Amino acid sequence: MYYVYMLKCKDGTLYTGITTDLTRRIAEHNSSKLGARYTSARRPVRLIFSSRFRNRANASREEYRIKQLPRTEKLKLIKK
């Protein structure tokens, strides 16, 4: 199982990623060198959206699609 997730950073920016273990990945973003460079300077981060996929290909397509959206559309996606 793969997850596409969106985090809200301390500075209000949004970060989108993909993982197989959502709990571990959020912990990495908040406290480890394994988190993304982008989020390491914007801690703490908070999970605001996640969606589950059966395979990596579908999850990667959705991650790419979300990353192309303007912020207003990302916020609408979160509210659904």
Q: Quick one: pLDDT at residue 27?
A: 95
Contacts of 34 (CB under 8 A, 6+ apart): 28
Q: Quick one: pLDDT at residue 74?
A: 96
What spatial distance separates the first Cα and last Cα of the chain, rounded to whole Å? Answer: 22
22-41 pLDDT tens trace: 999 999 999 988 888 899 99
pTM: 0.93
Each domain of the chain, given as residue ranges in start order, spans 2-79
37-63 pLDDT tens trace: 899 999 999 999 999 999 999 999 999
Domain 2-79 CATH (choose: 3.40.50.300, 3.60.70.12, 3.40.1440.10, 3.30.565.10) = 3.40.1440.10
